[in-house]
Structure 1
Amino acid sequence: MTSTPEGAQAPDFSLDDQHGRPVSLSSLRGAPVLVVFYPLAFSGVCSGELAELAELHPRFAETGTRVLAVSVDSVFALRTWSDREGFPFRLLSDFWPHGAVAESYGVFDAERGVARRGSFLIDADGVVRWSDHTPVSEPREMARALERARALTA
């Protein structure tokens, strides 16, 4: 499966966050949304990426961009990780059906059973305006997503 292309309508989804509350992409229309897929909670590269994203979160908020981080981890694992790290954004569980949302965006690695590193900046109307993909062993530069969010909302 190929990644959701820029200019396409972003696949809608409804997933539970780290507190067990449902979040649907369509309910966030009217503001940009950055959807960040990552392989697993508590892993080294993912921890670094989400720490950087947390550090940049106030700047995303200044642009009106909402941040959602998605993995195949359970709600319980995400809650423990979020509580420990103090993430200011919602962590969404793509646990069951396993990886279905990551698959709909073209970033599910069926061999490993996890999402690949994919970021999607979605505009207020639900259209993908930018995406970024990096190998699973390499961290993304979250500042690039912030630059694109600023350009989108300028």
Structure 2
Amino acid sequence: MSISCDSVPAHKAYATSLGGLPHPILSDWHPKGEVTKSYDIWNEERGAGLRALIVVNKEGNIIFKEVYGPGMAPDPNDMLNAIN
């Protein structure tokens, strides 16, 4: 799943523009950034979450966390390596 600080209507428009997504997008819209802040990936200056890839295991523990700068995209292999 993905988490974004955008609203549910914005998520629906985004997913539709891509022809659908294979996973749900959860909205961290209200209270703004509550989940993002709990993962310590909130950018107070921008009022938005940082781009990050976080893998949480069945026990709820973070087993992988990587924050990506502007213009950088998460490498899917990083996630696969964390899961394996």
Q: Same fold (TM over 0.5)?
A: yes
Which residue of the partner structure matches residue 145 of structure 1?
79
Aligned length: 83
TM-score (norm 2): 0.89
SS of match in other structure, 1:77: helix
C-alpha distance in 2 between matches for 1:106 and 1:125: 19
Which residue of the partner structure matches residue 15 of structure 2?
82
C-alpha distance in 2 between matches for 1:130 and 1:148: 6
Which residue of the partner structure matches residue 42 of structure 1?
none
C-alpha distance in 2 between matches for 1:144 and 1:107: 18
Which residue of the partner structure matches residue 70 of structure 2?
136
- Among 45, 51, 62, which residue is 1:111 paired with? 45
Which residue of the partner structure matches residue 98 of structure 1?
32
TM-score (norm 1): 0.51
Q: Name the % identity.
A: 25
State the 1:147 CA deviation: 2.1
SS of match in other structure, 2:16: helix
Which residue of the partner structure matches residue 4 of structure 2?
71
Structure 2 unaligned spans of 5+: none
Decide which structure has greater helix share: 1
Q: Name which structure has the greater RCO, CA cutoff 8 Å, separation 6+.
A: 1
State the 1:84 CA deviation: 2.2
C-alpha distance in 1 between matches for 2:5 and 2:70: 14
